[in-house]
Amino acid sequence: MHKSTLLLFAALLLRTTLPAQCWQKINAGVNQSFAIATDGTLWGWGRNNSSQLGDGTTTDRATPTQIGTDNNWADVATGSYSSVGIKTDGTLWTWGQNVNGVLGRGENAPNATVPTKVGTATDWKTVSLKHNSVLALKTDGTLWAWGLNDYSVLGDATNDTRFVPKKIGIDTNWKQVVVSADHALAVKTDGTLWAWGLNVYGQLGNNTTTDLSAPTQIGTATNWVKVAVGQYHSLGIRSNNSLWVWGYGAQGQMGNDQLTNKKTPSQVGTNTTWTDVAAGNAFVVATRSNGTLWAWGSNNIYQLGLGSNNIFWVPTQVGTGTSWQNVVCGANFTQVLGSGNNLWGFGQNVNGQTGTGTSGDNITTPTPVLCPISSTLELPTGVVVTAYPNPTTDRLYLQTSESNLDGFRFSVRNILGGTVVSEMPMNSDQTIETGHLAPGSYVLVLSDGKVVRSLVFNKL
């Protein structure tokens, strides 16, 4: 092939970056998931019986569905039947079922089928939601809570349901907070660890099984950087990248080859390369600095992504990939963000909560969640062609509103210019089979008989 042709394809690959940068932030609830795309739009999938996806319907979704048209979402969290989000302007929004005041808009506020603004504050920063309890941080470092308050999970020293956001304490140095159905963990900017709520299995880490009704410091360490909570177990990563776990361990959650509970933080092995961790009902999924993915604990519905439903009592590598970055867990499923901001799901999928395109059958190994962002190109004649999804797995779809496509043709080439899908006439609603292609980047070439235009798409 001529050198100039090779340079053309290389330039196309460098210029077309959007398809490889789809998702920037993910969250998983009991049976549904959300993701914020790199363009700031919000997408949801999974269970939607109470409009917890916020798309104005009660229809379950097996693939990402855009929620509204706003492109300024900054954070999102979802629980059982409701969801909450924060926009880049610092405003707070909730939707779904208003059970136990979880929507934060008052005791008698109606359910919301689409995101609905809460109050007038513009300084919300991050939010965590599980079941019907919400904990959130503001930009001034204060902690706020509302919703169901069983076992004082809201941290206000009562069991009173809160129907609007309530400030917890007076501290202004909260850095991260996470909540499960009955207990919560937090990290302050000084690296200290705090916990409150139910403690029947030692999940608060204070060497007792006594509940705590307000934030209480756990131990004396000042090097905690991240925490996560499962149903009755807790995890944390310290600044030296060591991983610690405590609480209920009867299903292997402690990662130490024993099925015992731990009432204080216990290090998982000796490895000091852990970078991210998440927990589901009774399992753990985590990433290491070399990009590998690890999982352990309960696995009856393939929530570990290891291809079998055997229980694993110690960290076990998931596949051979080395590009995993961030992980979140629902009740019994997992979503993982890889390099290039590609998203993958596995585990329970009865409501399509893995986002992999089907519902009903569980997903046994990491499976791509297709990026709904499309790519477009325009020919000088004014014909605009949209190609989606990008990246793709087995099919690439081309659409245009132009009805007369006489003379229009398309082909697909690899990055070296070799033809992998031969040139053929194009229809206004065209399907290109890509299942036979090896994973990688390809160039779609369109021609109207006079002018040639190209765009790059990725095959997973």
Closest CA relative to residue 67, chosen from 32, 36, 105, 29? 36
- Containing H/E element for 76? strand 73-78
CATH fold group of domain 21-369 = Methylamine Dehydrogenase; Chain H (2.130.10)
Question: pLDDT, tens digit, for every residue of 115-132?
Answer: 999 999 999 999 999 999
Question: pLDDT, tens digit, for every residue of 192-211?
Answer: 999 999 999 999 999 999 99
Burial class (CB in 10 A: 0-12, 13-18, 19+), 160: exposed
Question: Is residue 87 pLDDT above 90, yes or no?
Answer: yes
Non-local (6+) Cβ contacts of 21 within 8 A are 38, 340, 341
Of 19-23, 121-125, 159-163, 215-219, the range with the lowest mean pLDDT is 19-23
Question: pLDDT, tens digit, for every residue of 216-254?
Answer: 999 999 999 999 999 999 999 999 999 999 999 999 999
Contact indicator for 268, 243 with CB cutoff of 8 Å:
yes
Binned at pLDDT 50, 70 and 90, residue 373 comes out as low
Mean pLDDT across the stretch 420-433? 89
Contact indicator for 102, 133 with CB cutoff of 8 Å:
yes
Tokens standing for residue 16: 């077309």
**What is the strand order of the sheet 343-347 is part of?**
324-329, 333-338, 343-347, 363-369
**What is the strand order of the sheet 419-425 is part of?**
419-425, 409-414, 440-447, 452-459
Non-local (6+) Cβ contacts of 296 within 8 A are 252, 253, 255, 283, 284, 304, 312, 313, 314, 315, 316
Of 292-296, 343-347, 403-407, the range with the lowest mean pLDDT is 403-407
Q: What is the pLDDT of residue 85?
A: 98
Non-local (6+) Cβ contacts of 166 within 8 A are 144, 145, 146, 154, 156
Question: Is residue 378 pLDDT above 80, yes or no?
Answer: no
Q: What is the pLDDT of residue 374?
A: 65
Beta strands, E only, 333-405? 333-338, 343-347, 363-369, 375-378, 384-388, 395-399
Q: What is the pLDDT of residue 383?
A: 79
Q: What is the pLDDT of residue 454?
A: 84
Domain boundaries, the chain: 3-12+373-459, 21-369
Q: What is the pLDDT of residue 421?
A: 94
Question: Is residue 10 pLDDT above 70, yes or no?
Answer: no
Mean pLDDT across the stretch 355-363? 93
Question: Is residue 7 pLDDT above 70, yes or no?
Answer: no
Beta strands, E only, 381-451? 384-388, 395-399, 409-414, 419-425, 429-433, 440-447
Question: Is residue 340 pLDDT above 80, yes or no?
Answer: no
Question: Is residue 16 pLDDT above 70, yes or no?
Answer: no
Which position has the higher pLDDT, 349 or 18? 349
Which position has the higher pLDDT, 361 or 426? 361
Give the range with max mean pLDDT: 19-23, 259-263, 379-383. 259-263
CATH 3.40.50.2300 correct for 3-12+373-459: no
Question: To 5 degrees, how large is the angle CA 235–CA 246–CA 323?
Answer: 30
Q: What is the CA radius of gyration of the chain?
A: 24
Tokens standing for residue 332: 């019994």
Task: Give CA–CA dist 253/261, Å, rounded.
Answer: 9
Mean pLDDT across the stretch 158-181? 98
**What does pTM read for this prediction?**
0.82
Taking CA atoms, 84 is separated from 127, 131, 366, in Å, by 8, 12, 27
Mean pLDDT across the stretch 32-45? 94
Q: What is the pLDDT of residue 395?
A: 86
Question: Is residue 449 pLDDT above 90, yes or no?
Answer: no
3-state secondary structure of 357: coil
Average pLDDT, the chain: 91
Of 2-6, 57-61, 270-274, 362-366, the range with the lowest mean pLDDT is 2-6
- Taking the C-alpha atoms of 355, 358, 364 and 366 in order, what is their torsion angle to the nearest 10 degrees? -40
Mean pLDDT across the stretch 244-268? 97
Question: pLDDT, tens digit, for every residue of 274-313?
Answer: 999 999 999 999 999 999 999 999 999 999 999 999 999 9
Q: What is the pLDDT of residue 174?
A: 98
